[in-house]
Amino acid sequence: MKQYVIDGLRLEDYHKLKAYLDKNCESASINGIYWLELETDLLTDIQKAHGQCQPHVFALMLEESHLSCELLVRIKRNIKCDCMEYANKKQRDWLIKTADAILEALDIHI
């Protein structure tokens, strides 16, 4: 799996991130996994055409020592669809920029 990983979190960083993700992202059924919705203007043509699959999301996995951001654009309704694919450059850059902005907003320095 391709991922953007932020490691070296301190316990206080973990708690800040958890509070932020609990408030701003949907929790998945698995503990520590959150769904970060991809902005609709970044969707590919096939993702836009699959309205029944929206919203398209990135999975974020928070553990005490790190935050893993999958680079796979997922759907929550089905296990598999043609619109589920690895992020293109724009989507990948958006995810990395968003994750870094969250850290900056929470005053977490790695």
Per residue in 69-90, pLDDT (tens digit) is: 999 999 987 778 999 999 999 9
Q: What is the pTM of this model?
A: 0.92
Query: How many whole angstroms separate alpha carbon 89 and alpha carbon 74?
Result: 16
pLDDT at 80: 87
Per residue in 25-35, pLDDT (tens digit) is: 999 888 999 99
Is residue 57, in this structure, part of any structural domain at all? yes
Is residue 36, in this structure, part of any structural domain at all? yes
Q: How many domains does the chain have?
A: 1
Is residue 16, in this structure, part of any structural domain at all? yes
Per residue in 2-30, pLDDT (tens digit) is: 999 999 999 999 999 999 999 999 998 88
Asked whether 16 and 108 are in contact (CB, 8 A), the reply is yes
Residue 53: which CATH number?
3.30.310
Q: pLDDT over 90 for what percent of the chain?
A: 90
Show the tokens assigned to 30.
Answer: 């698995």
Domain containing 64: what range? 3-105
Is residue 110, in this structure, part of any structural domain at all? no
Query: How many whole angstroms separate alpha carbon 87 and alpha carbon 110?
Result: 24
Task: Report helix, strand or coil for 3.
Answer: strand
